[in-house]
Structure 1
Amino acid sequence: MTISVHPGADDRDWGGRLPRAESIELDDDQRAARAEILERSARWAERSGFAPTDDEGGLIGPFTAFALRPEPGRAFNRWVQTDQRGSSLPATIREVVILTVGVAWQAEYEIYAHVAVARTVGLSETVIDGLRRGSTDGFGPDELAAYRFVDELVRTHRVADDTYAAAEEAFGRDGVLDMVHLTGMYLATSALLNAFAIPAPPIPDPS
């Protein structure tokens, strides 16, 4: 399945401050990394409902950075895959965590991608919209505990005792550890996206 970006966008500078991987001469390791991304990460992205490439097949989002610096890119993707396989958190709560980070950093592509993933795993549109607007109206207890923990950590760099206690009650010690790892993962992603001013396609209206 190929997901189109948006009409008339083929000439957009999808790499931001980075050159498109397809526009420069890559060395052997960079070419291999690009092929690996297209084979694995890009397929997962499309299954999750967001575009990892432009309409001509060029990498977009963080994927260009991973191709240009293969070893850090591979290490980061191993971290992501380890979390996806072994997290104690429900898929919907993972997306609450990721979107909370992305919105706090206003990382356009992260928000675009994980609104799609959140919809795919069944997070409600009420919660998705609330995360994007900073409103917790309609959140369930676990969604609220995850949001408050991560938002407080990201924005104040600390977590108050009552916020921590609510998160631990909801998810257990392992769940809190998994939330912190996931937060760090997407803080790194947000930093990469924002440092290189990487744009995103528009977020589709819910179908």
Structure 2
Amino acid sequence: MTQHPAADAEYWGGRLPRAETLDLDDDQQAAVGELHHRAQRWAERSGFAATDDRGGLIGPFNAFALRPGPGRAFNGWVANDQRNSALPAAIREVVILTVGVAWHAAYEIYAHVLVARSVGVSETVIDGLRSSSTDGFTAAELAAHRFTDELVRTHRVADATYAAAEAEFGRDGVLDLVHLVGMYLATSALLNAFEVPAPEIPPAP
């Protein structure tokens, strides 16, 4: 069961005000409803909290409510990727966690440790992604992690690393991998710029 943090209007927004503390315009109010309908349902299925215990939006979702236009566009990109990616769900989570760990993006790491668990990524791999160990990774997990880590940290991908990823995922998979990296680089930038905090990661079941 998802554990929702206790409400604290100032703390959970980081540098941003909490949407529920503001006099929202009609578009912002509509965005709050949309985020509760879509993002909160995804979060609940995956085991992480997108709201506090009073229903206030936390994580990046508060920011999306404050600027509905960019928020909707970004979430449309995420939804399209979730529906149509050539990458298996577990590999997508390896990529996302690799980005989040490289950026020290607390909420991204919190949420996607729990999403990773929900789609079957092993605790060995999750712990390895958080501690820079690749012991116990499958060939596909290792290829996705190394490609992502090189791209994020060095801004390039070596030929051998690229070839390993293409051998595992094909051309479409590598294209989807790069889109996914960009998506979560943007998320990490948002979280870190506004110092958005995260709940504690619950222990593995």
Distance in 2, matches of 1:16 and 1:54, equals: 14
2:128–2:134: 8 Å Cα contact kept in structure 1?
yes
Which among 52, 57, 60 is matched to residue 59 of structure 1?
Answer: 57
Paired residue for 2:201? 203
Tell me the TM-score normalised to structure 1 length: 0.97
Distance in 2, matches of 1:195 and 1:5, equals: 23
Which among 156, 166, 182 is matched to residue 184 of structure 1?
Answer: 182
Unaligned segments of structure 1, at least 5 residues:
none
2:60–2:190: 8 Å Cα contact kept in structure 1?
yes
2:7–2:56: 8 Å Cα contact kept in structure 1?
no
Paired residue for 2:32? 34
Matches for 1:127-142 after TM superposition, within 5 Å: 127-142=125-140
Distance in 1, matches of 2:183 and 2:121, equals: 20
Task: Please report how far the alpha carbon of residue 56 of structure 1 lies from its aligned counterpart in structure 2 after TM superposition.
Answer: 1.1
Distance in 2, matches of 1:90 and 1:39, equals: 25
Matches for 1:66-145 after TM superposition, within 5 Å: 66-145=64-143
Distance in 2, matches of 1:186 and 1:56, equals: 27
SS at match of 1:202: coil
Task: Please report how far the alpha carbon of residue 177 of structure 1 lies from its aligned counterpart in structure 2 after TM superposition.
Answer: 0.3
Tell me the TM-score normalised to structure 2 length: 0.97
Distance in 2, matches of 1:164 and 1:100, equals: 16
Distance in 2, matches of 1:176 and 1:134, equals: 22
Distance in 2, matches of 1:84 and 1:39, equals: 17
Which amino acid is 1:5 matched to? H
Q: Does 1:13 align with 2:30?
A: no
- The CA deviation string for residues 154-195 of structure 1, in whole angstroms up to 9 with x for no partner, is 000000000000000010000000000000000000000000
Which amino acid is 2:181 matched to? T
- RMSD of aligned C-alpha atoms? 1.0
SS at match of 1:137: coil
Q: Does 1:45 align with 2:38?
A: no
Paired residue for 1:4? 3
Distance in 1, matches of 2:88 and 2:54, equals: 35
Q: Percent identity?
A: 75
The count of corresponding residues between Structure 1 and Structure 2 is 204
Which among 167, 170, 173 is matched to residue 172 of structure 1?
Answer: 170
SS at match of 1:30: helix
Which amino acid is 1:4 matched to? Q
- The CA deviation string for residues 54-87 of structure 1, in whole angstroms up to 9 with x for no partner, is 1111000000110000000000000000000000
Task: Please report how far the alpha carbon of residue 4 of structure 1 lies from its aligned counterpart in structure 2 after TM superposition.
Answer: 2.8
- The CA deviation string for residues 88-115 of structure 1, in whole angstroms up to 9 with x for no partner, is 0010000000000000000000000000
